[in-house]
């Protein structure tokens, strides 16, 4: 007596029950992990992004994402579409009036020193995130340096206006030794230090002007 096997369209010799009636063994296709598909690459955590990778866009969301970014951009002043450095310098005026009203000279100087130290950290962190060690939107250096200028300048609007114009001129054209240190120093300290030099040169010019009436 002949026993017939049930014909259900599946080859019982095919692993996994797939393969039809061809009589050939059909092996399952090797699985490809999604991350290892053609053209893809797995990067170890912490490695730098490949060249050409998109950099974060310095917008309101970026500024609010970390305290370092918020500080470096002067609370958002550095997002000014035109002359962010000038906008940052102008922002020092209301801060000066506020601090000058509530703080004695010693505490004011201590505050400026603390702002300088904090600025090194904030500008270093933000510069790395943006892929630019001295991004134009980072204005904490202008705010801090010009606060020092205002602190040591006669407290009237005429002197303060001249101080503002002179500080901006020096910060833009960067005469020696500002340009030298701007090119040699990197990171947050370099960002803060060249504006501090601009502040010292501004005060020196104002002192000469006051002394000799030039």
Residue-number span of the structural domain to which 200 is assigned: 60-208
**Residue 152 domain flag:** yes
pLDDT tens string, the chain, 214 residues long: the values are: 444 444 444 444 444 444 443 444 444 444 444 433 333 333 333 334 444 455 667 899 999 999 999 999 999 999 999 999 999 999 999 999 999 999 999 999 999 999 999 999 999 999 999 998 889 999 999 999 999 999 999 999 999 999 999 999 999 999 988 889 888 888 999 999 999 999 999 999 999 988 887 5
**Residue 85 domain flag:** yes
**Residue 8 domain flag:** no
- Secondary structure in 3-state letters for 38-101: CCCCCCCCCCCCCCCCCCCCCCHHHHHHCHHHHHHCHHHHHHCCCCHHHHHHHHHHHHHHHHHH
**Residue 26 domain flag:** no
**Residue 49 domain flag:** no
**Residue 73 domain flag:** yes
**Residue 198 domain flag:** yes
- Tally of structural domains, the chain: 1
pTM score, two decimals? 0.73
């Amino acid at each position: 007596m002949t026993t017939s096997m049930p014909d259900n369209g599946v080859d019982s010799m095919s692993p996994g029950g797939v393969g039809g009636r061809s009589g050939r063994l059909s092996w399952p296709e090797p699985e490809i992990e999604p991350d290892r598909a053609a053209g893809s690459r797995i990067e170890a955590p912490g490695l730098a992004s490949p060249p050409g990778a998109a950099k974060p866009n310095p917008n309101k969301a970026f500024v609010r994402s970390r305290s370092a970014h918020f500080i470096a951009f002067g609370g958002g002043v550095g997002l000014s579409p035109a002359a962010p450095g000038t906008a940052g310098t102008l922002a020092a005026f209301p801060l000066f009036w506020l601090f000058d009203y509530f703080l004695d000279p010693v505490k004011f100087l201590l505050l400026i020193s603390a702002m300088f130290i904090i600025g090194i950290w904030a500008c270093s962190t933000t510069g790395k995130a943006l892929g630019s060690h001295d991004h134009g939107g980072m204005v904490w250096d202008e705010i801090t340096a010009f606060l020092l200028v205002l602190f040591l300048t006669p407290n009237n609007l005429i002197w303060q206006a001249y101080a503002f114009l002179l500080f901006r001129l020096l910060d833009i054209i960067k005469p020696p030794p500002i340009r030298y240190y701007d090119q040699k120093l990197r990171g947050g300290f370099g960002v803060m230090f060249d504006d501090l030099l601009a502040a010292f040169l501004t005060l020196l010019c104002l002192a000469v002007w006051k002394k000799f009436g030039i």
